[in-house]
Each structure stands twice: as C-alpha cells, then as structure tokens.
Amino acid sequence: MGLDPVVLFFVFGVCAGLLKSELKLPPALYETLSIILLLAIGLHGGVELAAQASLQLLGQAAWVLALGIGLPVLAFAVLRLLRFDRVNAAAVAAHYGSVSAGTFAVVVAYMLAKGITFESYMPLFVAILEIPAILVGILLAKGIARDTHWGELGREIFLGKSIMLLIGGLIIGAVAGKEAIKPLEPFYTSMFKPVLALFLLEMGLIASGQLGALRQFGLRLLGFALLMPLLGALIGALLGRFIGLSLGGTAVLATLAASASYIAVPAAMRLALPQANPSLSLTASLGITFPFNILVGIPLYLALSERLIAWGL
C-alpha cells in the first residue's frame, strides 16, 4: 500500500530539514494548526459521545486511566535497565506514558482512509491518557517531595493548552449535538486532512532538527525509542480487546499507547524536573518515536489488532 499523502508531507518536511532548506513555517502557524486539530478532534468526539454515552464507557475509561498509570512505570523500568539515571529515566518515562495528539490525528485519518470504523469517543481517551503519566513521572523521580509545587503544577497540567482544547471541543460537541454542529462539521471533515498535512510538514521539519541530537545519545536511546512504542502498542491492543473495543478502536488505543508526548509533557517536566535533560526526551519522542509511529507503526498496530481478533482474544 502506498503511503497516505499526509504522511508524505511529513517525509517531505524531514527531507527539507535534513537538506538544511530555507523552508520554515512561521511558529504562529504551527500553533494555529495544532489548535485546529485538537479542537476538531474534541468536537468530533463530543458529538458522538452525546449519542453513545453509556455506563460501559465509564468502565472503559477507568481501564484507560490505569493504562496511563502503568505505561510510565513500565517505561521507567525499561529505561533503568538501560542504565539511564533516575531523573532522566523518569522524565523520559513521563513522555512515553502520555500521548501525542498529532499521532492520534494521523491514526484517525488512516482509519478513515481505510474505511475502518472505531469508537468515536476515542478523543476522551486521549484526554485521559495525557495527564497521569506526568504525575507518575514526577513521583518516580523524587517521590512525594516537599519542594514540588503541586498547585502550580496541577494548573500547568490540567489547564494546559491541549487538554483545554480537547475537553472544550468535547463539551461543545456534546452540548450542541449532531444537527446544530453541522455548519462546523468541516473542522473534522473536509478541513481535517489539509490542516493535518500542513501540521505534519512542520512536524517533519522539527523532527529532522531532533535527529542531529541523536548521535550524542547513542544506541541506548534509539533502542528505547523503538522498543517502547512496540511494547506500548502490544499492551494497548490487549487492553483494547479486553475492554471490548472494535477492531478500529483496538488499533487506535494501541497507537495511543505507543505514542509519546512532545507538547504537554515537555513543558510540565521542564518546570517539575528541571534537572532532567530535555533534549533526551525530545530526541526520543519527536526524532524517533513519532516518525516511527507515523511511517511504520500505525499499519503495524492495525495488523496486530487484526491478528489478536483472529486469535479470538
């Protein structure tokens, strides 16, 4: 199968960056694009959520929350085995326990292109998975230390840009309902892919900048950044089957579990764990894991989900 054109935009961005091209999107545009994407994801989820809300969803959400707590602990253990020091291991683990909304947007586009349906309340899971890893990461780094300003940190985490936009979109979508939202539908229908394409072009440029730093950190980090998404995807897919998600839903949850944050978590970690080296986390999550998930991971996680279902799990 050929690559989705939006993914080609990402490849284009990486190439342009590696060639040291003059091409550069204005930072304000990148912000605008990510705001539109997050709102669109939230709105779409909210509209469907209103139609499908059920008690079963509550149970599923609790399991997803548990996933968000378990993943960073697992990542921390793997990093410690690779002999990263405690603070850096905790910071990187927080990135990998959390999720990337950009990766989520790509998997959504992928599923739509393939005509595979998935539970439309998935954006809720994105919001749920975004937060716990940050707290777990801080606890892993320093225990329940006195000098952590939990109030300030809580504000940073819960009122952060991506969470606000996702939740805001979800609520607006749920309150408005399908009919009233019609005029805004282009957000997540015809507008979604063009915006995603530009967003991925910029992500490609950014990712290419991170690749240079890889040489400095070597094979241990590369190994982790490739191994962890696979581990995460396996756990996410198994959980997806366990809580009774459809094929599409399982693949999306696997992708979420495989993805690593590069927006909300870096900002929170910078303030909460300043001793951690930020470029370690960003090189791994942006330079390696994000491209891996976009180019190779998503089709792989779909195949994994198909296999699990074929095995009757």
Q: Cβ distance 133 to 261 under 8 Å?
A: yes
CB of 24 vs another protein, minimal distance in Å: 7
Q: Residue 172 corresponds to which tokens in the numbers above?
A: 């607006």
159 or 296, CB closer to another protein?
159
Could you tell me the two tokens for 280? Answer: 């370690």
Query: Cβ of residue 152: shortest distance to another protein, in angstroms?
Result: 8
Number of residues this chain uses to bind another protein (CB under 8 A): 20
* DSSP annotation of 143: S
DSSP secondary structure string, 269-304? HHHH-TTS-HHHHHIIIIIIIHHHIIIIIHHHHHHH
Tell me the closest approach of the beta carbon of residue 192 to another protein, in angstroms: 21
By CB under 8 A, tell whether 170 contacts another protein.
Answer: no
Between 207 and 228, name the residue whose CB sits nearer to another protein: 207
Least CB distance to another protein at residue 273 (A): 9
Question: By the 8 A CB rule, do 64 and 253 touch?
Answer: yes
Sites for another protein among residues 186-225 (CB under 8 A): 202, 205-206, 209, 213
Among residue numbers 29 through 88, which ones bind another protein (CB under 8 A)? Answer: 30-31
Are the beta carbons of 73 and 93 closer than 8 angstroms?
A: yes
7 contacts 201 by C-beta, under 8 angstroms: no
Output the smallest distance, CB 45 to another protein, in A: 24
CB of 39 to another protein, least distance (A): 17
H-state helical runs in the chain: 5-18, 27-52, 55-81, 86-97, 101-114, 122-130, 132-142, 150-158, 161-180, 192-242, 247-258, 264-272, 278-282, 290-292, 298-310
Would you call 84 exposed, middle or buried from its count of C-beta atoms within 10 A (0-12, 13-18, 19+)? Answer: buried
Tell me the closest approach of the beta carbon of residue 285 to another protein, in angstroms.
Answer: 11
- Letters for 249-288 (x = contact with another protein by CB under 8 A, - = none) are -------------xx--xx--xx--xx--xx--x------
Distance CA 176, CA 140 (A): 41
| Residue in 268, 260, 278, 31 with CA at minimum distance from that of residue 156 | 268
Between 285 and 305, name the residue whose CB sits nearer to another protein. 285
Binding to another protein by residue 24, rule CB under 8 A? Answer: yes
Q: Does 168 bind another protein (CB under 8 A)?
A: no
| Span near another protein by CB under 8 A; candidates 25-33, 45-53, 129-137, 183-191 | 25-33
Which residues bind to another protein, rule: CB under 8 A? 24, 27, 30-31, 202, 205-206, 209, 213, 262-263, 266-267, 270-271, 274-275, 278-279, 282
